[in-house]
Structure 1
Amino acid sequence: QVSTDKKIYDHNSEVKVSGTVANLRADSPVTITVVGPQNNVVRAEQIEVSADNTFETTFSTAGDLFRANGDYTVRVQYGPQQINDKVVIQLVGEAPEKASACGVGEIAVKGGGQVYCVPYEANGAVVTSATASSATKSLTLKIATESDGAISVKIPREVLDAMGDNGQDQDFVVTVDDQEADFTETDTTDSQRTLEIQFSQGDSQIEIIGTKAVPEFGTMAAIILAVAIVSIVAITARTRLSISPRY
């Protein structure tokens, strides 16, 4: 019998595989094969069975062989009679274009022309993407759920913050699928604020709204944009002068 610690993962997760065998056979390892959505083998290994008839291993979903979204089948074979079992997991979200600088348990948040690695823990879901917006002063998390659960997000103040005119912290506003939701601020430091948010199975989006967020354009990008706008205005004015009728 084989199982995994979760059913849904993103493309930068550690999958924990564990199981038991009914009858322990000496010098007989368990063969674990992972088959991808295109019916291609993406991983294979052999591990020893412990004296208590259990086995356990982990593998990462990062890498080119796990870039496709969809169902992955973890198959286990044991013994000369090839006794087997299987479990299906699902990979969701955006596969990084190249090796991600963010580690396991971190989500890459795009904003200000940069990528920020924001730590999070989720029970019952994985975060598939995250974006900070200065226009809405918010951090939006796209999630894929497998059950009711909760997510704890450590938000860097440079990414999103909520402060009053007096410079004191004030509460964020949190919505789940566009409905205002309850949350708990479990920790606050000079550099980050940690929120715990409940969600239900089937929910797909969490939005955390503050009073300031990292701009979509970095400083250099903003300067380039400003120069481009000035150049366009100057060229337009010059063109109008050149085509003005002369009397």
Structure 2
Amino acid sequence: MRYSSISIMVLLFSSMSVPIFADTTTATPTLSPPTAALITVNIDKSAYALGDTIVISGQVQAVVVGTPLTIQILDPTNNLVQVAQIDVSQDGKYTDTMKATGALWKSNGKYTVKVQYGPPNVTAQATFDFQSTPVFTNNVFQLKDPGSQQTFNVNYTISGGSVKTMTIDAQSLSVIVSVNSTNDGTISLQLPRALIDAKTSSGQDDAFIILIDGAEVKPQSESANNDYRNITVQFLQGDQDIEIIGTQIVPEFGPIAALVLAIAIISIIAVSAKTGLRFMPKY
């Protein structure tokens, strides 16, 4: 049997197998760098009470000239409590303060600060705990006068901080109350008239001069009876010294000094009776 040369070549090529290789190299995916948030928001504390100041700050990534930033505060039931619009600086940063006061600040719980800039989807939020009624502390401070050695009980009620100490400044006719004011608050003092008082030249009650860290302030309220003068003063977070200045301070002669003086007078009278010493000339 004969095969043509062409047939023989076809058979030879068909019997040969040509391997095919595939590229099994796995490509490493390229990770894109994380993108910065379009807007951020921060608050200075995690909890506030009625009357506190809330400091709100943050930054936007892209500043649009003439576009205000909106700040909203929502209560635990998502009702709007306070709203403001502020400008953003050229570098994208913003800061604003809001006071936790008013009829809408009435629910205890977790509040939300929501900021929006430009499109509705450019938002950020933060939360804080809120106490709608201030927490008051009642206490008594025993104030001792180093000159007369008298001790006076000063009743006080404070919110937004604590009383560190009370001192008498005889030269300025004042009582200085040092406080640790962790928040905005108030202090009510029941000051014994025997400790400090303020009188006019005619003997009527006069107003105290009140200084907080050297700046004069007006009391929130004042009242008085025969034994005490009562004042209530508002202070801000960070305030330290509340000075109440009157027209008279602890009497120069306290009980011990008065007793010594009385004994001295009796002794002089007794000596004069024995020796015939006279205090007034005889005419």
Q: TM-score, normalised by structure 1?
A: 0.46
Structure of greater relative contact order (alpha carbons < 8 Å, 6+ residues apart): 1
Look at both structures and tell me which one has the larger radius of gyration over its CA atoms. 2
Q: TM-score, normalised by structure 2?
A: 0.40
